Structure 1
Amino acid sequence: MAGRRGATLRAQWLGKHLREYRESAGLTLRQAGDYLQRDIATISRLETGVIPARASDVLALLNLYGVDDHKVRSGLEQLSRDIWRKGWWDGYAADSLGKLFDHAWLEARAKTICCYAAMVVPGLLQTRDYAHAVISAGDADASGEQIERWVEFRMDRQRVLDAETGPRLEIVLDEAVLHRLTGGPGVMADQMERLLEVMARPNVTLRVLPFAIGAHASPEGSFAIFDMPEPYSDATYVETRGGAVYTEAEGAEVFTRAYDSLRNVALTPEDSATVLRNAVNRVGRARNRSVIIPEELAGVAWYISTRSADGGGQCVEAGPLPDGSGRVAVRHSRHPDDAVIVYTRAEWEAFVGGVKDGEFDFPAS
């Protein structure tokens, strides 16, 4: 059974505005309740977002509070309708996504999204394989089916960048992200190629924060800022192990200052593209050489040597990696969790040929 989703950020925003206008008008909860023919508890829940206010109630309360500004009235009416209108994300309501519904709504409504990414590529730019690796590592107890649903949700979120009214996306990407082989060399190379592709889009700007700058304005880690149109307040998002944390209005200012500082010391988009291309080349070389992750060994068919060591052999085993690269992994069969040596196909053939030719028949000491 799906858990209760609780008050959404949208409902909380609307309730906050209604409370502020009521207090400005000098009216009590009882007076507002009498006007709508509701009890005090209901009005309180409307103002805290526990119960989303319907458009008819919002307009009636704005009349009571003497709010005549057309822009304010139409904005709050639209917000009240947004709360009740189903978005594409509602198809995932049973998937334990919690505040990510608010996140998807913020992405769909924002004018600009500014993001500092310290650990992983932002979700809006992730490839499917990269997203799968990130989500799987972040929740090892989740089922394969659940992970696939979360990945699908992340892929669906990316459609916002293709919308005519979609947001502008500005990213400061820590250089460390480019060195972390999330998903392995192949997945990482594809992910960086994806970043180079999206950098050519007019609504995406990416800057790399280089190691060389040393200490910077966000040692705490990643965050995102949503520049929202009226009547919404600007909002910020920080992901923690305990869940998502959103702040708005004045609370967003400290993040804005931090982002401006990071952007000022980051590389230009042009220099960032050069760093990315160099990273693609580096990871591409790693993909063809000796960098592997444990998951890549899962499908290896190991062949045990019967002609090694003095204790009867069978201490060395080798097998081709199943990724089609031609690389060969070699390890100690009695200690499979120890280090693994990986050869390219050419290196392996040269090594085996050298053994057959006696090149490693060292003289006894």
Structure 2
Amino acid sequence: MYRLVFTQVLRRFDAEAVHHLTVSALALLARLPLLKRLLHRAFAPHDPALRMTAFGVHFPGPLGLAAGFDKDAACAEGVAALGFGHVEVGTITAHGQPGNPRPRLFRLVRERAVINRMGFNNAGAAAAARRLSRTRGVPVVIGVNIGKTKVVPESEAVADYVAAARQLAPMADYLVVNVSSPNTPGLRNLQAVELLRPLLTAVKEVADGTPRRTPLLVKIAPDLADEDVDAVADLAVELGLDGIIATNTTIRHGGETGGLSGRPLKARSLEVLRRLRGKAGDRLTLVSAGGVEDADDVWERILAGATLVQGYTGWIYGGPLWASRIHRQLSRRVRRHGMSSIAEAVGRTACTRS
């Protein structure tokens, strides 16, 4: 049914307009306690075999929503009610900004992909912190993804990230430093270890100083050279980070300017995951994102070493109950393999390098 609706209706409308309409609908759902709880009971993952624990946080299922959808922390509870095991909000910057000029979001239906050049459009850290401070009506793990304000020069990037972290880290179940979006000029330069070290050190000090100590991860691009992936893994271990999210969108494509997500990213994302697992072993929690379309993809990422998996473009093409459907399929797969928990599958096909 959803495929027919998407093909005949949704794809005929501007992609960003549909996005905003969906966010508004889910934000409304989040304000309807009874409906929200009923949907959560029906579609959220409740099977104990799917529970994951990562960096001290308990997740009801391994598949979560990647950053980029709920940019202002407006609808996380609505998203969770549809079956996601966690929701990563953002990217949120210290100061609100409009992002890049429209049009800036493009579907590639045949490739089951999306190109975006949104540019961290959001209302800023203070507005998001107010939303995140509200009591949650249904259980939902919320990660907060932070990035650099566009007008802030590279020389002041550390202070800008720290300003966002101070407001948002106390509200987050985990915090993510995004240095890998291709849509903020110069941002990816911060992935270089000599620039990344002081940035992560400063943000980690803020995260460590929250009442419950907020876990800290860094999100990297698929376009890093293999030796740079290794260098980031070494740095993350050295600094005592909790994990790495791999990967963001890629600029290696022939379409509109911006970052490409979806099916074309699948192979490289899996390759980076395997490299990180080989380099860091189980010293870091790895979160795999990029090209995740179905339960087979989630299972493959877990076997390769991911504790958690994220999707976004797959949800666009898979429909509202995409995550719920995948979690049900994973439940059956865990039992078919004679496991008591999906955590037993993490890293089964991984090889560790020194």
Give the TM-score taking structure 2 as reference length. Answer: 0.27
Of Structure 1 and Structure 2, which has the larger fraction of its residues in helix? 1
Bigger-Rg structure (1/2) = 1
**Structure ranking higher on relative contact order (CA contacts 8 Å, 6+ apart):** 2
